[in-house]
Amino acid sequence: MTTSVVIATYHADRVPDLLATIDSLARQTSPAHEVIVAVDGNPDLASTLSRDLPDVTVVENIHHAGAGGARNSGASVASGDLVAFIDDDAVAAVDWIAQIEKAMTDARAIGVGGLIEPLWLDHPPRWFPTEFGWVIGCSHRGLPETRTAVRNVWAGNMAMRRDRFQAVGGFRADFGKQADRSEPEETDLCIRAGRRWPDLIWVYDPRVRVLHRVPRARGRVGYFLRRCLYEGRGKAALAAHVGARDALTEEKAYVRHVLPRGMVDGARELVSGGDLYGLMRTCAIVAGCITAFVGYVPTRVRGQVQRRLRPYRGRRLG
């Protein structure tokens, strides 16, 4: 079994992080079949990387703008049995590829994803609830601690059989993360693949592990709330594509079980130890949930109204 690794990137400022990502791939106990860097909307950067990284395949994004299009472009030139994706600001554990290939020996597996641990570049804010790790592009509290079949995995740490990735069409062209859009393109991909091959599974395995750099700016309250708002909007957009049932199954369980436990833990820390940050984490959970809801509802309603009006557009009255 061979694994091609695709890294999407877009800006010269991220080159130091990108080089650290590539270096982590060079140190794998099971080497990558090839490393492909897909550059989104920056021909000068692509040219520079092609010149400076002779052992890496560099391609420009020839698909839709954004990380999803770049990943599709990288996957289109891959030749490994598996295509794996890692972010350009993440570092792979030394056995990352080995654990991916081990998980994919299960013939039922469409693909695999794993643990994304935060690597804070400053001290992690004590008010930040670990239940909201997804805000900073990382895994959140409440995920399985052992290998488990799941609805979806996350594009910052995932792999898929290359032939199935191509068969399902890769990441959706009109959907994804760009500017102020935070549409969960990997969830959409996983749901589409799950529908196409209903007897197969997506696997979450925490032993498939990467570290994701988290800059200081992502530890601010404003960033936290903004990302929650965008997440709500993105989930509404996903529901419009795949239906609310598939789009929100995991999220409903998260809101019903994971978040209440976090709130209780925060309150307990305040009462038993006088930890005011426990109260702040509880408040952050409530605020984040409400903000995501505020993002979801108007976007969902607007989309439903637009779909209902679509048959009447262009018709003459009278």
Residue-wise pLDDT for 144-199, tens only, equals 999 999 999 999 999 999 999 999 999 998 888 776 778 899 999 999 999 999 99
As a whole number of angstroms, the distance between CA 261 and CA 255 comes to 10
From start to end of 106-156, where are the E strands? 109-120, 148-150
Confidence (pLDDT) at 313 = 57
> Side chain identity at 175, as an amino acid letter?
F
pTM of the entire structure?
Answer: 0.93
Residue-wise pLDDT for 49-106, tens only, equals 999 999 999 999 999 899 999 999 999 999 999 999 999 999 999 999 999 999 999 9
Alpha-carbon radius of gyration of the chain: 20
Classify residue 185 as left (phi > 0), alpha (psi -120 to 50) or beta. Answer: alpha
Tokens of 25: 């791939």
Element (H, E) at 130: none
Confidence (pLDDT) at 129 = 98
Burial 226-258 (b: 16+ CB within 10 A, else e): bbbbbbbbbbbbbbbbbeeebbbeebeebeeeb
Residue-wise pLDDT for 87-97, tens only, equals 999 999 999 99
Give the chain's domains with CATH numbers: 3-218 (3.90.550.10)
| SS3 call for 143 | coil
**36 near 74, Cβ under 8 Å?**
yes
Q: CB under 8 Å to 242, separation ≥6 — which residues?
A: 188, 191, 192
Tokens of 7: 């890294």
**67 near 179, Cβ under 8 Å?**
no
Of residues 170, 206, 176, 173, the one with CA closest to residue 190: 170
Confidence (pLDDT) at 85 = 99
